[in-house]
Structure 1
Amino acid sequence: MRSLLCSTRLCRHTALLLSLSYLAGCTSTGSATQPDCAKVDYPIYDPAEPVNRGVFAFNKAVDDYALAPVAHGYRHLPDFMQQGVHNFASNFGEPKVFINDLLQGNPQRSVNTLGRFAVNTTAGVLGLFNVSDPIGIPRHTADFGQTFGVWGIGNGPIVELPLLGTDNSRDSVGKILNFVVSPFGDNSDTVQTLGTVAMVGGVVDGRAALLPLTDSLKTMPDYYSALRDVNAEHRAAFVQEGKQGATDPAKHRCEGATHDDF
């Protein structure tokens, strides 16, 4: 039993490393497109840019040689397998979305999230099948960085953390909280194992979805600033979406990437 527990913890640490290396390029859920097609304010204050660029070079190497190749291979899997991984990982993350819905003071969003999780976990076989969308319960996303923004906390300076990637100070703290908070607790080996599978699958699936974006940004003269600026715009739009509290954000977005793709 102890051996199994140690193995599970090792898997969780490995999954966390993969998650953090993924975040070297982008944040967990979002889009560079504004929810209501209007301009949003995304001031960029990067006083430690020389240091940030040095850390960014390390993070990029981790992504280039570890995660991106895995993501490219993943894209060759059959579509139904990729969809299953996406559905399972998204469903496992719903409890954290629910917590942030409550913290943002949005009861309607929280009810939708709870309903999705209940339906997809049961009728959808632990979330492998998305049965909520067809019955009119669309998915939205939320994280602690968005919650802080809804509360009125400012962006703060840009910071590039090893493996955690580029973000403003507010969202960096929120990103760390997103990993630390565990709605399911640590008392069940089964839940820990499922959580590890969901984390690894979600990281690879999310990175694969971002390949076209990052490949495009890499062709620009300055990859660091291009990625930093796109991420800043995305996060500003994501906070605005949280303030609007729409239960179906897709109806309020311009055409293009969704928050699930970013």
Structure 2
Amino acid sequence: MTNNNTMKKSTGWAGAVLALALLQGCATGPGANPADPLEPFNRTMFNFNEGLDKAVLKPVATAYRDVTPQPVRTGVTSFFGNISDVWSIVNNVLQGKGEAAADSLARVTTNTLWGLGGIFDVASEMKIPKHTEDFGQTLGVWGVGSGPYLVLPLLGPSSVRDTAGLVVDSQLDLVTQASNVRARNSLTTLRVVNVRANLLGAGNVLDQAALDKYSFTREIYQQRRNSLIGNASAEKEERFDLPEGAQTAPAAPAAK
């Protein structure tokens, strides 16, 4: 019952954000940026997230970094990375990337058994490659277009496609599906704070370098997602290459 309620809330939340953004986009005038038709909504959400980050998340992450020894923070990062590798197995399979799926399975098995549940990243020491995949990438490999750029409250840069993928990701994430509410909330908070602490240096560079932080963040996000999906599509095509001389229809271009 709890998982069903969580799914309904997540789906309803994502649907409400998408509806609000698209309604505002429809109301945008003819001078709107075709590369970012939801820009008025996105900038509002971006400024909201920036204010929340400066007031709450960044100070908490800074304190966490200052009081927590580096080896402990490394262990926390490895632990959550091991959890994400579980979902990467599924997405690699769905994308037709058998070798990457095998690598992810080997990482989870190795780190869970020999790395104390993932606290120690033994797999990386053994040179087992890491292939982080999410359902938004899977949709892109399947040919689903990204849709308009979208800034989500609290979560930041996304797209219509990646927001739909995020709903699926959240329903199959081992942390968000933990049955113990206190443990689930504690782990979720720790993961968010740890991720933000790992980004403190990059955030400071961005603050100093970007004239328009919103536009810079948008470009970086879109380029990275297109690169990830393009690489995944290329890997899939390489694994299913026909013998030399065989004829086939041209491959469909990767989703943008």
Q: TM-score, normalised by structure 2?
A: 0.71
Matched, 1:113 2:104: yes
Task: Look at both structures and tell me which one has the larger radius of gyration over its CA atoms.
Answer: 2
Q: SS in structure 1 opposite 2:121?
A: coil
Q: Aligned-pair distance for 1:241?
A: 2.8
- Pairwise CA distance, 1:212: 2.2
- Alpha-carbon displacement from aligned partner over 1:83-136 (angstroms, at most 9, x marks no partner): 111111111222111111111111111111111111111111111111112223
**Contact (CA 8 Å) 2:84, 2:173: kept in 1 or not?**
no
Counterpart in the other structure of 1:130: 121
Gaps of 5+ in 2: 11-33, 237-256
Change (3 A) 1:96 1:196: farther
Amino acid at match of 1:242: A
Aligned to 1:62: 52
Listed as ranges, the matches of 1:236-251 within 5 Å are 236-245=226-235
> Where do 4+ consecutive residues of structure 1 move more than 6 Å?
none
Deviations 1:218-239 (A, max 9, x none): 2322111111111111111121
How far apart in 2 are the matches of 1:100 and 1:193?
29
Cα 1:158/1:165, change in 2 over 3 Å: same
Distance 1:195 1:90, change over 3 A: farther
Structure 1 runs not aligned, ≥5 long: 1-5, 7-11, 17-43, 247-262
Q: 1:187 to 1:144 in 2, by over 3 A?
A: closer
Residues 166 and 115 (structure 1), Cα distance of their counterparts in 2 relative to 1, 3 Å cut:
same
Higher normalized helix content (fraction of residues):
2
Measured in 2, the distance between the counterparts of 1:144 and 1:157 equals: 17
Distance in 2, matches of 1:216 and 1:187, equals 36
Task: Tell me whether 136-145 or 176-185 shows the greater mean CA deviation.
Answer: 176-185
Identity rate, percent? 34
Please state how far the C-alpha of 1:188 moved relative to its aligned partner: 5.1
**How many residue pairs get matched?**
206
User: Matched residues in 2 for 1:187 and 1:85: separation?
Assistant: 17
- Cα separation, 2, equivalents of 1:187 and 1:81: 23
Q: Highest relative contact order (Cα 8 Å, sep 6+), 1 or 2?
A: 1
Worse overlay, 110-119 or 206-215? 206-215
1:206 matched to which residue of 2? 195
CA contact (8 A) 1:109 1:245 kept: no
Shift of 1:47: 0.9
Contact persistence 1:98–1:110 (CA under 8 A) = yes
Q: Tell me the equivalent position of 2:224.
A: 234
Q: Whole-Å Cα distance in 2 between the matches of residues 237 and 202 of structure 1?
A: 25
Alpha-carbon contact 1:120-1:127 (below 8 Å) kept: yes
Q: Which residue is 2:71 aligned to? A: 80
Tell me the CA shift for residue 154 of structure 1. 1.4
Separation in 1, partners of 2:40, 2:72: 42
